[in-house]
Amino acid sequence: MSQSAVLSDRLLSRPMIAVISAQFFSAFGDNALLFATLALIKQQHYPAWSQPVLQMLFVAAYIFLAPFVGKFADNFPKGRVLMAANGLKLAGALLICAGLNPFFGYCLVGVGAAAYSPAKYGILGELTQGGLLVKANGLIEASTIAAILIGSVAGGLLADWHVLAALSVCAVTYGVAVVANLFIPRLVPARSGGSWHPVRMLGAFTAACRSLWQDGETRFSIIGTSLFWGAGVTLRFLLVLWVPVALGINDNATPTMLNAMVAVGIVLGAAAAAKLISLETVRRCMPAGVIMGGVVVALSLQHHLMPSYLLLAFIGILGGFFIVPLNALLQHRGKQSVGAGNAIAVQNFGENTAMLLMLGLYSLVVKLNVPAVVVGMGFGLLFSAAIATLWFATRAGKSTRTGGSK
């Protein structure tokens, strides 16, 4: 089937419904599996410092595969790439269910996720046209947020009931995503040919990284989004450690419910950013990042459940207001220089490198037995300081460029 036969003037065409459905079940599995596997390693008495190592293996796959997954997505029909990626996720979940090392199984899921990401966004432009592309992106993001909310809560609740049952549900969910991918037409590859030599592929990726880093606007965006997602994934694990200490609750469901409040807040903050911030005024998002770190400090000192829910929702609102303009800036500037796909690949590389570094630091302080409340306060203060430094550095750089042009 030719690509022109697939492009539709309807937003909810059958192929788009298949993509959105597959994305929901795939993202549901990712989030439920994280909390189910965390419950498993607690059940198997792994040390507390090993919990973030689970996510570090996941993001390491993104980092090492970043130079290659974009070409893989562009050189094969993207629907089949999505199916293969979900197949890898299914294999990883089945390995964990079978009693093999959970760290190895979760790393395999990370390999599938790394391959899935560029194909997921790239296929939208092959299925929709004109103004529908923005709406299609919105549907994918809405599907992802819904999957994060439901998957996180389901993973925690099911793990409290039966860990193996929770893991099995995750595997079944990945299986449903694979089936949904079968309903995506076999599209013509976006590009064909080109060198598959690893060194040349790495060289092309390095050139894209260098190009984006030399542009002050994209460098600002990459650093900001990397700090945000590094902090976000660390907050997930901090809540698992902090809830029993600060709130006296030892189940698996409460940390997942608290994480879900952050996702709800992100939706609200993203909507506010869309109305209040444009590409020309993108730096208006920076105070939200500074305040967000302060709210994390306030949360760390909290000892009651309901105020914790409210504070985490507020953290999410600030986070959505902060991240959406930075993403838009990078996509806009990246499309003009190295291409949107390469820009996303470089952004993924930066964000996952930040995640790996922050999780490594978090794992270290937990291994040193630093109290959870102290870890939370230090984490919030460091994040505020980092965003404030980035903000003032970019303002100073902009002032210098403006002054030099007079």
- The one-character DSSP state at 3 is H
Contact between 250 and 351 under an 8 Å Cβ cutoff? The reply is no
Q: What is the average pLDDT score of the chain? A: 83
The secondary element (H helix, E strand) that includes residue 227 is helix 216-242
Beta bridge partners, 128, equal: 8
Residues 6+ positions from 77 with CB-CB distance below 8 Å: 186, 187, 188, 189
Backbone angles phi and psi of 47, in degrees to 5: -65, 155
pLDDT digits (tens, 9 = 90+) for 188-225: 665 666 666 788 878 878 888 888 888 888 888 889 88
- Say what the pLDDT of residue 406 is: 38
Q: What is the CATH number of domain 204-406?
A: 1.20.1250.20
- What parts of the chain have a pLDDT lower than 70? 1-11, 121, 125, 129-135, 137-138, 188-196, 331, 334-335, 339-342, 396-406
Domain formed by 1-194, architecture: Up-down Bundle (1.20)
In the chain, where the domains are located: 1-194, 204-406
Terminal CA-CA length for the chain: 56
Q: Do domains 1-194 and 204-406 have the same CATH topology?
A: yes
List phi, psi (to 5°) of 193. Answer: 80, -160
Q: What is the pLDDT of residue 7?
A: 54
Q: Do 128 and 7 contact (CB within 8 A), yes or no?
A: yes
- 107 neighbors 61 (Cβ within 8 angstroms): yes
DSSP state of 187: P
